[in-house]
Amino acid sequence: MAHLKSLYNWLFKTKLGFFSFVVVLFWIKTYLIYKTKFNLGVVGPMQEFLLLFNPIPAALLLIGIGLFFKGRKSYWIMVLIDFLLSLWLFSNILYYREFSDFLSMSIIKTSGSTSDNLGKSIVGITHATDFLCFLDVLIIIFLIAFKVFKIDVKRLKFRIPILIEVIAVSLLGLNLTMAQSDRSGLLTRTFDNNYIVKYLGMNAFAVYDGMKTAQTEAIMAKANHNDLKAVQNYIKKNYIAPNPAYYGVAKNKNVLVIHLESFQQFLIDYKYKGKEVTPNLNKLYHENDTISFDNFFNQVGQGKTSDAEMMIENSLFGLQSGSAMSSYGTSNTFQATPAILGQQAGYTSAVMHGGAGSFWNRDNAYKSFGYDYFMPLSYYSNKKGYYNGYGIKDKLFFDQSVKYIEHLPQPFYLKMITVTNHYPYDLDKEDTTIGKTKTGDQTVDGYIQTAHYLDEAIGELMDYLQKTGLEKNTLIMLYGDHYGISGNHHKASAELLDKTSFNDFDNLQFQRVPLMFHMPGLKGGINHTYGGEIDVRPTLFNLLGINDKNYIQFGHSLLAKNAPQIVAQRNGDFITPKYSRVDGSYFYTATGKKISHPNKATREQLASISNTVTSELSLSDRVITGDLLRFYTPQDFKPVKKKQYSYKESKALRKLKKEERKKKNSLYYQNGKKSTRDEFKTDAPELKR
């Protein structure tokens, strides 16, 4: 009893006892959160031990700061630090649930460019149990308030908090040593943030990411033209010529790029209760004059849609951390598709988007890309009921876009960004024409409803293009930007696909998204070539007859006869027709069977593919973080002058009108200077009120 009483007095009547209580509660809580709120892919006893161990050093180091103070201040500083660490955990739980990744400094720095409708998204992904993050803080405050803890006002001898900090740093070093022994090159070769967290902890990841961000900024400041040589040598060595049979078949045609938000390949031909979810896209997909790719993968990282746009416009990968478009879109030099088409073939370029212009820093990045016009939400009527989640509903968006489409001088390069099929997949009852699935997963069950709505909107747009004759002179490209159902929904995904199970390999294959090129007279069919978003620009240029040999790009035409068919994922995983890599393990792509004991030839093939993936990702990162394109200008390209672009509505529309009068080849002029707005028919209920 005497020992228990001594322990009680030490725990509740001394500052070190209080400190130990706070640290232990935080440690237990953090470990439980790791196990229940994240999918870290922990394998083996060493990883399990480090996951249990890694919260301790950071807790000792950070909460121990309070021991340097005296009186009540010391106690409340420890409580405040505990609260801030808990808030960081809570924020990462929400972010991870939606994006399967952790908050980075780049994301936090650019959060203003992605905050549209943030409140609604947070509410949609928050679970009641998430607030247990703060349970230990509430318990501690309660025990202080009811004087269970007696405040020890004496200042500790200085050597005691110093000793605790030294122990904490030593434990951090031990943690890193054990982690490096289990995963060689953890901090130098890792493309997946899950590894950093499961080996070193979330707070260590925050420090690592912050240092990496600062390092990246320093790299840009020091970069020079010599840094580009390794990139140019790699591009030259690995250049693959376009397919001559398709070269220039769409020369001088309009290009209409339709961005299918969060749209996955499995939706093509998918039926729910006997009803096609996407009948209009299914029809396009199977038409004789559509080239459809069924092994086309999204390759996005944390930047999601912005990464897809970066790849499609520039054939450069998004970054490992954050959004390249948000972080570098304003300041960097780019040689993007709209600028190339404008300079080489006289294209007018525009983006139409029923969402906020600042989202993903589009209003700045598009100027760097050389887009002549950008029509965001401010160009559209936004009455009550029009807006859904991240922008104007797709049917209303297409309907209102006609007044801009018909005035674009031809040929034009137009990208239209849809938004209705965006998480959290909410749709007003009056807009729904198909039922929800019943997997029991709220994130998943609304997905086919919003996808079906998007498909109906595509059908209405295609009808308009056919009625006005615009389809005959237009190459239509449709692509899905990234997954709609993340890797945190295995059970529901299995049910949707009528599978008995769904694992990480299945999820990698689930990253397929549609890519279609449609044009009357185009020799179409379903193409089984493996590729990704990095390959879209070279494929488009193949069809348009644009010479891209002198440009810095990491993709290859998917129509090329000897396309490499190595699809890199941003975390270092990959897919090829023969092999796939998932979280450090290798599989046969065709069967999903794990390669447990590869022979020498197989090991060499896997090593070669892995080296290609690592090289392309790292070299692309160098181009962006070092802004290396400022040191190189192809012979047939003039650097984009960002200041010459203005997306202010009144100024931009005056410029458009002037260009239209000058060229006299817009759809409006072709129609005898009569509007084609009446040719667009929609069943959008908002317009029938």
Q: Concatenated DSSP letters for 316-359?
A: -PPPSSS-HHHHHTTTS----HHHHHHHHH--EEEEEESS-TTG
Q: Which tens digit of pLDDT belongs to each residue from 361-370?
A: 898 899 999 9
Q: Which of 128, 570, 542 is nearest to 316 (CA)?
A: 570
Joined tokens for residue 25: 């509660």
Average pLDDT of the segment spanning 273-283:
96
Q: What is the mean pLDDT of residues 609-619?
A: 96
Q: In the numeric block, which tokens belong to residue 204?
A: 């260590």
User: Dihedral of CA 648/335/324/331: which sign?
Assistant: negative
pLDDT tops 50 at residue 656:
yes
Closest C-alpha among 287, 286, 268 to residue 278? 268
Q: Output the furthest CA–CA distance in the chain (Å, rounded).
A: 100
Residues in the chain: 689
pLDDT (tens digit per residue) in 379-389: 999 999 999 88
pLDDT value at 91 more than 60: yes
- Mean predicted confidence (pLDDT) in 660-676: 97
pLDDT of the residue at 437: 92
CA distance 650 to 476: 29
Euclidean distance between CA atoms 570 and 321, whole angstroms: 10
Q: State the pLDDT confidence band at 191, using cuts at 50, 70 and 90.
A: very low
**Strand locations in 275-430, DSSP E?**
275-276, 290-293, 296-297, 348-353, 373-375, 387-388, 391-392, 412-417
Contact 121, 98 (CB under 8 A): yes
d(CA 210, CA 81): 19
Write down the pLDDT at residue 177: 95
d(CA 483, CA 393): 20
pLDDT of 114 reads: 55
Cβ within 8 Å of residue 289, ≥6 positions away: 518, 519, 520, 521, 522, 523, 524
Lowest mean pLDDT among 82-86, 472-476, 484-488: 484-488
Q: Which two tokens stand for residue 160?
A: 């005691």
- Tokens, residue 254: 């309009």
pLDDT tens-digit profile of 125-137?
889 999 999 999 9
| Phi, psi at 491, each rounded to 5° | -65, -50
pLDDT bucket at 192, cuts 50 / 70 / 90:
low
Residue 615 CA to residue 21 CA, distance in Å, equals 48
Q: Among residues 54, 56, 25, 51, which one has the least CA distance to residue 39?
A: 51
Beta bridge partners of 585: 582
User: 160: exposed, middle or buried (C-beta count within 10 Å: 0-12, 13-18, 19+)?
Assistant: middle
Helix (H, G, I), strand (E, B) or coil at 479: strand
Q: What is the pLDDT of residue 112?
A: 61
Least confident range from 38-47, 333-342, 664-673: namely 38-47
pLDDT at residue 99, as a whole number: 62
Q: What is the pLDDT of residue 551?
A: 97
How would you label 103-136 residue by residue, b for 16+ Cβ within 10 Å and e otherwise? bbbbbeebeebbebbeeebeebbeeeebebbbeb
The token duo for 428 is 């007003």
Average pLDDT (548-555) is: 96
Beta bridge partners of 276: 271
SS3 518: strand
What is the DSSP pairing of strand 567-568 with strand 574-575?
A: antiparallel
Retrieve residue 604's tokens: 């060499």
* pLDDT 10s digits, 424-449: 899 999 999 999 999 988 888 999 99
Say what the pTM is: 0.79
Rounded to an integer, the average pLDDT of 290-299 is: 98
Peptide bond into 424 cis (omega under 30): yes
What are 248's two structure tokens?
């220039």
Confirm whether 305 is a catalytic residue.
yes
Average pLDDT of the residues of the chain:
92
What's the CA gap between 335 and 634, in Å, rounded? 9
Instruction: Identify the pLDDT of residue 270.
Output: 96
Would the pLDDT of 213 be above 80?
Answer: no
Q: Please give the share of the chain, as a percent, with pLDDT higher than 90.
A: 77
Confidence at residue 184, expressed as pLDDT on a 0 to 100 scale: 78
Query: Catalytic: which of 278, 290, 305, 676?
Result: 305
More confidently predicted of 594 and 109 = 594
Q: How far apart are CA 24 and CA 351, in angstroms?
A: 53
Closest listed residue to residue 660, CA positions, set 452, 436, 412? 412
- Going by C-alpha positions, the residue among 332, 289, 281, 632 that lies closest to residue 458 is 281
pLDDT for residue 2 is more than 80 = no
Span 162-181, average pLDDT? 95
CA distance 456 to 91: 36
Q: Please, where are the H alpha helices in 100-192?
A: 105-109, 118-125, 135-145, 159-182
Average pLDDT of span 609-624: 96
Give me the helix-helix angle, 15-37 and 2-13, nearest 10°. Answer: 80
Residue 110: its pLDDT value, please?
61
Alpha-carbon distance 365 to 183, whole Å? 37
Percent share of the chain, pLDDT over 70: 96
Q: Supply 566's token pair.
A: 């190595």
30-65 confidence digits (pLDDT tens):
999 999 999 887 878 999 999 999 999 999 999 999
**What is the pLDDT averaged over residues 17-36?**
95
Positive or negative, the CA dihedral 501, 480, 396, 675 is negative
Structural Rg of the chain based on CA atoms:
28
How far is 304 from 306, CA to CA, in rounded Å? 6
Is residue 291 within 8 Å of residue 527, measured between CB atoms?
yes
- Phi first, then psi: what are they for 597, rounded to 5°? -135, 75
